[in-house]
Amino acid sequence: MKKKSKRWLSIALTVSMLLAMSVPAFAEEPGSPLEQIPPDSVQEDIEKQEQNELEDKDLETAIQDAAVSKDEESAEEATIEKPKKAAARAAVADTTIVLYSNGTLVINELPEDRSTNTSAYGSVTIEASSSSFNENGGIDPPWRQSTWKKNLIKSVKFGSLTQPTSMKDWFRDCSNLSSFDSTNLDTSKVKDFSGLFASAGGSARSFSIKGLESWDTSSAETTSSMFESSYFEVPQDSFANWNLSKLTDASRMFYFYRSDEKNIGEISLPAGCNLTEFFASAYNIAATVKMQGAPSAFDSVFFGCGGNGEITLIPSNAEAKVWCKKMVALYGPAGTKSIANLHLPAEPMTTVLYADGTMIINEMESDRASNLKEHGAVLAETDPLDAENQDNPPWRTVEVFAEKAKFIYLGSPVIAKTMAEWFSGFTKLELFDSENLNASNAPNMTGMFRNTGIESEEGLEVIGMKNWQTYSHSERITSYMFAGAKVSAIDDLSGWMIGEADSMFEGLVGTLDAGTINLYYGKSFKNFAADAENLITVLKIYAIPSNYENAFFNAATGKTGDITLTYESYASDDVKDWCQQMVDLYGASGTETQGEVHLPYAKKTVLYEDGTLILNELSRDSTANIEKHGAVKKEFPAWDGTENDYVFGDTGVPWFNYRYDITAVEVGSKISPVDTSKWFFECPYAVAAELSKLDMSNVTNADQMFYNFGGNAAEKDIVISGLETWDTGKLKNMHGMFMWVGQFARSVTITGFTNWDTSSAEDTSEMFNFTGRSAKTVNLSGFDGWNTGKIKTTAKMFYGLGYDAVSVSLSGFENWDTASLENAESMFEQCASSDKQEVVMDLSKWDISNVTNMRNMFASFRISAEKVTLLGLDHWKFNNKAILSSMFDMLGITGSTPSVSEYNIGTLTIPGGCVTDNMFQGAHNVKGTLKLDGMPVSEYGGDINLAWRANTAGGALYLAPTDDETFAFAEETVSKYGPTGSESQGNVYLLKMFDFTVSESIMMTGTANSADLTVTDLTVENLGSKAITVSSVQVDSILNGWALAANSIDFAALTKDSKKFSLVIGGFDLSKGAYTAGGSISTNNQKVFNLTGKTGAVSTAINKQQIANLVVTVIAAE
């Protein structure tokens, strides 16, 4: 048998030679940021300068020197080229940085220019050698030192070629700077322009830069604060030719830009750049900004750019256009953050209704194609909305808009003057997205949504009402605004100053929480909420309405209706009396109608005799609760968000000392805390919590909120509900949130967090640690909707979850963003160890490149399942410092014995340097490959014990080395823990991962009619040292043909695992049974005989009628 020799050395030598050949003959000296030889772009100027200098020199001497230096050059070449190169180098080596008495700073002044400069600029104030400045690439220039007194600098010049790599803060706070001459400045290698002219020119009130338009910025990575608070007079289009394609940070580039000449012209910005406060507070600035895509950050990018300036945004692609539109909505004429003349290029607009019911007011012509694709054909179109037609908007004259519109958007900014009856009668309307609407000058909203949405399933949702700039007008007229409408959601209107409000919610259909509404002016209020059975609102009364006939007739009489009348502490007695009068007329005991119209209820937190704790119970509910839960056992102060905020401290929440008495938790009325850490810490006998009225929108910390909740409630069913209502967008710390919940309960159910906003979450460690440890069933809602991009640690997140449970629901990890994840230690350790259901987890999208601790991550995870498959681990790129110790350990647990029949992990590629102590210790039936892309290490030194007692009953763990060192390690590991291991015997194998070719010819006797024709001991060499033997491939019987079967015990063991090897003849897999060929077979008929597996394939052709020999050729592929 012929084998290929090893090729490690030859490959290494070949790579080395190729690398050596790629090195240029003349390379820049390492560590020298400033070029010593001028580039071609400035060579001509230098040649002229140096030619003049040569006129006064002895050219014959120069020729002789040059000829001696380089015999190969002709006298003519030496005359010109050699002195030029020498002079260019000397210009850099011998220059100085000089500040003259008139304030002129000369950078890299040539010695021969001193006399001329002294005459022009006065005496030398201070000077320094340029050598360090040039060697450091311009970092920390000498004039930044306190001894130089930067405020003396008035003008800047460059005496000779200067090529920095950084200009960071060069002239920051040089308040007297008035001019900057870029001649002889080469910026082509500058990466950092940050703070270059920040706060410069303040005393002079202006300064100019010569040659700015010609700067080469192709290497620029940051221009942060480059012109911040400066008085630079920029000529228009100075930035038009700047190449900023590598720019990543332009934050505050023109922040508070102060120059009177503020039209900076055109500038092009790349996608993914940080534009935070780019133009912020640059009042009156004018510019044309070309956007190549959306920036990475843009907080306050155009904030405070009002005045007479004008900024035009020109998007270059769809992504950029979406962003530009958003900026115009925030900062443009209809802006919700600040108002500036910010806009997209002017283009024709129309109002359009599409086939899917989408209506776009003032759609831009350039958006038509994409809208057609998204929304279908155009059903109708009409004129755009403008300042002249708002009293009778154009869609009011085209009936199909009101009949079929379901979703309304504004395609470009609209400044409203009135919105009366705009969408009255739009019966199918489900959504009005008011982004791009400025309503600061639109006091009249009469009937705006009258009878709207009544044919829609959920009712109308209005987005963005809180941003309608309500404070800029003294009074809002909202009569009939939602009369007869079906409305599901609007913004809290607490910022609105409402005057006349007749029938504002009269006949409202369905339930609507309108938040707080302020009645300021004592205007007419009749029929305000008449027949609005399920209106929920807090009305703050500042003055008694002039007309309040039937204001709350039959109001809040429905199941969910609730109207609270309140007033300020300084309110007059008349206002207080009027509120009481309304309650007497329309409240629970009203003389006109009986509804939930009331003054603010008193609140308290109560623990009842049956163990029910009700937070912020309303006084109205007290009687009913006593009947339901028994006598009051203990009263606590209500949560009020100030003194009683229930933040866990030294003394704990008020009920802490009664925690062992609590059996259930409810929230009686809305609570809006900022911290819920340890609220229900150690309530071991509690079995239920209903928390839909708990407002979590401002909570940042929920550490151990339910720690050991129901932990001792043996054989009880634990249910935590209402979480689907939670807004968790600010929640950062979820550590131990449900830790040990229902440890010994019969079942644990925690649902409602599938679509939690976890965009701020950083710590979810121990969140479900031993939750439902001994419960029979653990039911968690999925994690599908979680935004996990900021989570840094998931250590023990599901540790021991449902450890002894028969059934555990755990899903929704497929789309997790783990780019920020650093610690995943024991994340799934011992999770659902007794659950026998087959489980598949797709983790292919996980980015674990920053994770440094994965110790015990899957240790004993689902070890009793029928089958476990972890998909996508072959996509994982491990950090080369990652700790992977005991990652799949199944030995170190107590309780359940591993019984999983298959534990499929696929292929893991482990880089050198990873800690892999006991990585597969005691692993059971694991099937997969560990590709060793470098040497693993031990955290403690010595033996790694990678696979001690692994796969003793089955499975197939392959070690795939990639070089001589890892081969030796893999070979040693298999010798210890493989089928004939010296320390334990298991299915741990060595896997060849490199090309090789082996051929073997086996002569056989017998004919096609012989029943004992046998191929024996076919050996395929693997890595030149390990052998895979295929035994007893034979013809079992002949019946009008023949049969071929793999019946050897050795071969059957190999073929049992389809991930290892299969024996195929004519496309038939012999591991699934014998192959039988029926009928007569011609002499030339050939079948293919294949041995396939991770090592490659064996193939040959068999002459069936008279089998004389079998030639086997092995060609392996990685």
Give the DSSP per-residue string, 557-625: -SSS-EEEEE--TT--HHHHHHHHHHHHHHSTT-SS---SEESPPPEEEEEETTSEEEEEEEGGGHHHH
Confidence band (pLDDT; 50, 70, 90) for 896? Answer: low
Q: What is the pTM of this model?
A: 0.59
% the chain with pLDDT above 90: 62
pLDDT at 745 over 60: yes
Confidence band (pLDDT; 50, 70, 90) for 1053? Answer: very low
- At 991 the pLDDT is 73
Select the more confidently predicted residue: 36 or 840: 840
Q: Which residues make Cβ contacts (< 8 Å) with residue 473, sequence separation at least 6?
A: 440, 441, 442, 443, 497
Give the DSSP per-residue string, 840-892: EEE-TT---TT--B-TTTTTTTTTTSS-EEEETGGG----TT-B-TTTT--SS
Confidence band (pLDDT; 50, 70, 90) for 230? Answer: confident
Sheet of 407-410, strand order: 378-382, 349-354, 358-364, 407-410, 431-433, 460-463, 487-489
Phi, psi of 525 (to 5 degrees): -140, 15
- At 1022 the pLDDT is 35
Token digits of residue 25 = 């003959």
By DSSP bridging, strand 632-636 and strand 988-990 are unpaired
- At 147 the pLDDT is 87
For 90-133, write each residue's pLDDT tens digit.
444 689 999 999 999 999 999 999 999 999 999 999 999 999 99
By DSSP bridging, strand 839-842 and strand 612-618 are unpaired
Distances (CA, A) of 21 to 9, 13, 15, 25, 902: 18, 12, 10, 9, 51
* Spatial separation of the C-alpha atoms in residues 898 and 926, rounded to whole Å: 11
Select the more confidently predicted residue: 372 or 66: 372
Confidence band (pLDDT; 50, 70, 90) for 54? Answer: very low
- At 1070 the pLDDT is 47
- At 935 the pLDDT is 96
Is there a contact between 680 and 712 (Cβ–Cβ < 8 Å)? no
Span between the terminal Cα atoms of the chain, in Å: 22
Beta bridge partners of 931: 909, 960
pLDDT at 1007 over 80: no
- At 204 the pLDDT is 66
The least confident of 226-235, 255-264, 422-431, 719-728 is: 255-264
pLDDT at 358 over 80: yes
Confidence band (pLDDT; 50, 70, 90) for 43? Answer: very low
Confidence band (pLDDT; 50, 70, 90) for 202? Answer: confident
Neighbours of 1101 (CB within 10 A): 12
Q: Which residues make Cβ contacts (< 8 Å) with residue 278, sequence separation at least 6?
A: 250, 251, 252, 253, 254, 255, 298, 301, 302
The DSSP element (H or E) to which 100 belongs, if any, is strand 96-100
The least confident of 844-848, 896-900, 1114-1118 is: 1114-1118
| Winning range, highest mean pLDDT, from 81-85, 935-939, 1081-1085 | 935-939
- At 88 the pLDDT is 38
Where residue 752 falls (left for φ over 0; alpha for ψ -120 to 50; beta otherwise) is left
Mean pLDDT of 219-237: 88
Select the more confidently predicted residue: 67 or 555: 555
Mean pLDDT of 1053-1066: 40
% the chain with pLDDT above 70: 79
Mean pLDDT of 1055-1071: 42
Is there a contact between 96 and 128 (Cβ–Cβ < 8 Å)? yes
pLDDT at 137 over 90: yes
Is there a contact between 103 and 176 (Cβ–Cβ < 8 Å)? yes
CATH number of 996-1116: 2.60.40
- At 75 the pLDDT is 40
* Spatial separation of the C-alpha atoms in residues 208 and 201, rounded to whole Å: 9
Selection from 31, 41, 25, 89 nearest residue 218 by Cα: 41
- At 93 the pLDDT is 60
For 571-611, write each residue's pLDDT tens digit.
999 999 999 999 999 999 999 999 999 999 889 999 999 99
Q: Which residue has the tokens 């994340």?
A: 827
- At 260 the pLDDT is 66
* Spatial separation of the C-alpha atoms in residues 652 and 636, rounded to whole Å: 13
Phi, psi of 488 (to 5 degrees): -100, -30
For 246-272, write each residue's pLDDT tens digit.
999 999 999 998 766 578 899 999 999
Instruction: Give me the half-sphere count of Cα atoms (radius 13 Å) on the Cβ side of residue 505.
Output: 30
Q: What is the 8-class DSSP label of residue 120?
A: H
- Average pLDDT value for the chain: 81
pLDDT at 466 over 90: no
For 928-971, write each residue's pLDDT tens digit.
989 999 999 999 988 999 999 999 988 889 898 888 899 899 99
* Spatial separation of the C-alpha atoms in residues 1069 and 1056, rounded to whole Å: 11
Confidence band (pLDDT; 50, 70, 90) for 898? Answer: confident
For 620-655, write each residue's pLDDT tens digit.
899 999 999 999 999 999 988 777 788 766 567 899
Is there a contact between 555 and 595 (Cβ–Cβ < 8 Å)? yes
Selection from 304, 382, 315 nearest residue 343 by Cα: 315
* Spatial separation of the C-alpha atoms in residues 523 and 534, rounded to whole Å: 24
